[in-house]
């Protein structure tokens, strides 16, 4: 059995891994784990990733969790072009810096924004207090400002003049609030120009393919199954404060 | 001007960078940015790191934030012994995996314990509701279990027989609640691993790095600048 990637394209980090693997022609078997159906909680999947999260990688006997670790593993094993994770000491440090910062910054507010604005009310029938949503969107705005001021600045890409894994991680993150109808690029021309550059570098077809699932999320009918609904509400409580 | 490291050893990520640099005899100037005095919000520091966080590194014109990035940078630039960040594909991936997971699974919850147990009562004069403390403890317990079962397993260290950056980062973060006299190393497996890592670092260096933290209960918070106190109280709202 060759390389297997356990992904749900509803998840931002899964999209980054998917795009990277496809863009670099890395052969893999896609194993879809549907988060909304609780498939990450099965015993079978726990064998692959005991942390019960996606993405997860299985390469023969070797199992790996965490999208950042997976991206770096793939780039090393399949010798991806240098610009994705540059050898140069300072260039690489810039990518490491972004990949580290994003865990508790952009990741957090993009997930909250998408769920509070769209998924909780429309899919789970749970309305979110307007002050909470407003605070979340304000936090998102602050993060976007930091993204522009500290990382992008006047560069073509987040960490320099070439696209890197940092840009993949960032763009897939930002598409989350976009899928919920947040117009984050409209008032930010610099960020919009960067978005177009990244999409062109990835290839429009691959970019659309990776985002098809999340962009259709707004059209999903409300969840009716009471057990699933209860379980999801329980596991996603942390997104509500 | 040589390498400068902007740190306050109250912060776990700063301790990881400090210990690593000292252990590997990397010459640097320690630029103390006093968190308790709110110096991370000073004009001078904001120019170094507009994100106002510690640690930061300045190497000539090159400025870098994020402890994980700093550790990798120092490791490579100063050619630290390979066990710190093994070249083997799988072992290196294990370090990367832990470094990614720890931000939200270890660092945040461990810090929360310190805030709830010590800093919030000390600074605001109010106790945190018991059920918040219980929830924070539950999360720490669950994540430490995952640490033991998935990351440590039956090995001496996270990557196997030798200490790596992952063990260093893990330990300094798990030490954070000690600032509030709270010990998380309750299982014998965890306690034994803790000792192993301390010895691999060197007890003298380890405790030197943790001195400011373990003396935190003695800090006279009445000396806190009222502006800083107000800002901290606002920040602390989310923990209450």
State whether A51 and B101 contact (CB < 8 Å): yes
For the entire predicted model, the pTM comes to: 0.96
Residues of B in contact with A67 (CB under 8 A): 100
Residues of A in contact with B139 (CB under 8 A): none
Supply the DSSP symbol for A76: H
Report percent pLDDT > 70 for chain B: 98
Maximum separation of any 2 CA atoms in chain A, in Å: 53
State whether A69 and B96 contact (CB < 8 Å): yes
Asked if the peptide bond before residue B213 counts as cis, ω within 30 degrees of 0, the response is no
pLDDT tens profile A179-227: 999 999 999 999 999 999 999 999 999 999 999 999 999 999 999 999 9
Residues of B in contact with A100 (CB under 8 A): 66-69, 99, 103
CB-CB: which of B50, B99, B103 is closest to A150? B50
Angle at A199 between CA A201 and CA A181, to 5 degrees: 170
Mutate to test the interface with B, among A96, A98, A111 (most CBs of B within 10 A): A96
Write down the pLDDT at residue B240: 55
ipTM confidence score = 0.96
Residue B146: CB atoms within 10 Å: 16
State whether A103 and B69 contact (CB < 8 Å): no
State whether A50 and B149 contact (CB < 8 Å): yes
CB-CB: which of B51, B93, B100 is closest to A150? B51
CB-CB: which of A51, A67, A97 is closest to B66? A97
Q: At how many degrees (to 10) do helices A106-114 and A165-179 cross? A: 20
pLDDT tens profile B44-64: 999 999 889 999 999 999 999
Residue A137: CB atoms within 10 Å: 18
Residues of A in contact with B88 (CB under 8 A): none
pLDDT tens profile A75-116: 999 999 999 999 999 999 999 999 999 999 999 999 999 999
State whether B66 and A104 contact (CB < 8 Å): no
Is there a contact between B189 and B152 (Cβ–Cβ < 8 Å)? Answer: yes
Nearest of B85, B113, B97, B88 to residue B146 by alpha carbon: B97
Q: How far is CA B213 from the centre of its chain?
A: 11
**CB of A129 less than 8 A from some CB of B:** no
Helix, strand, or coil here: A171?
A: helix
Using the structure block, give the residue that is written with the tokens 């952009």: A106
Rounded distance between C-alpha atoms, residue A224 and residue B52, angstroms: 45
pLDDT tens profile A112-169: 999 999 999 999 999 999 999 999 999 999 999 999 999 999 999 999 999 999 999 9
- In the structure encoding, which two tokens stand for residue B217, read together? 């209960």
Rounded distance between C-alpha atoms, residue B184 and residue B174, angstroms: 7
Write down the pLDDT at residue B235: 67
């Amino acid at each position: 059995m060759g390389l297997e990637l356990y992904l749900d394209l509803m998840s931002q980090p899964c999209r980054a891994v998917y795009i990277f693997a496809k863009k670099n022609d890395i052969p893999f078997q896609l194993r879809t784990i549907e988060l909304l159906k609780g498939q990450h909680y099965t015993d079978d999947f726990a064998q692959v990733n005991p942390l019960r999260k996606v993405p997860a990688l299985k390469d023969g006997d070797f199992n790996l969790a965490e999208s950042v670790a997976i991206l770096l593993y793939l780039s090393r094993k399949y010798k991806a072009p240098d610009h994705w994770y540059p050898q140069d000491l300072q260039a690489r440090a810039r990518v490491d810096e972004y990949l580290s910062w994003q865990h508790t910054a952009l990741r957090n507010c993009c997930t909250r924004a998408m769920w509070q604005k769209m998924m909780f009310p429309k899919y789970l029938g749970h309305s979110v207090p307007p002050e909470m949503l407003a605070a979340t969107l304000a936090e998102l705005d602050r993060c976007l400002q930091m993204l522009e001021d500290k990382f992008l600045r006047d560069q073509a890409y987040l960490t320099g003049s070439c696209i890197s894994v940092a840009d993949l991680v960032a763009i897939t993150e930002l598409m989350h609030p976009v899928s919920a109808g947040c117009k984050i690029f409209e008032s930010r021309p610099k960020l919009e120009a960067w978005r177009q550059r990244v999409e062109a570098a990835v290839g429009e077809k691959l970019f659309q393919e990776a985002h098809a699932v999340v962009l259709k999320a707004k059209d999903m009918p409300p969840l009716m199954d009471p057990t699933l609904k209860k379980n999801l509400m329980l596991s996603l409580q942390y997104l509500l404060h | 001007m040589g390498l400068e490291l902007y740190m306050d050893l109250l912060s776990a990520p700063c301790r990881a960078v400090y210990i690593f640099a000292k252990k590997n005899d990397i010459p640097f100037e320690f630029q103390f940015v006093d968190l308790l005095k709110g110096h991370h919000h000073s004009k001078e520091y904001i120019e170094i790191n507009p994100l106002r966080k510690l640690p930061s590194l300045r190497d000539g014109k090159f400025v870098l934030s994020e402890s994980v990035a700093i550790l990798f940078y120092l490791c490579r630039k100063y050619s630290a012994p390979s066990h710190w960040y093994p070249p083997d594909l799988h072992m290196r991936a294990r370090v990367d995996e832990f470094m990614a997971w720890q931000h939200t699974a270890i660092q945040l919850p461990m810090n929360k314990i310190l805030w709830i147990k010590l800093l919030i009562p000390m600074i605001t004069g109010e106790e945190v509701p018991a059920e918040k403390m219980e929830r924070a403890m539950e999360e720490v317990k669950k994540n430490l279990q995952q640490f033991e079962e998935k990351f440590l397993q039956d090995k001496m260290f996270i990557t196997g027989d030798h200490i790596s950056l992952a063990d260093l980062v893990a330990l300094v973060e798990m030490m954070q609640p000690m600032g509030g006299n709270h010990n998380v190393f309750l299982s014998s497996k965890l306690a034994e691993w803790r000792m192993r890592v301390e010895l691999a670092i060197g007890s003298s260096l380890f405790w030197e790095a943790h001195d400011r933290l373990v003396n935190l209960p003695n800090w006279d918070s009445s000396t806190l600048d009222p502006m800083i106190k107000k800002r901290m109280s606002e920040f602390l709202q989310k923990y209450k």
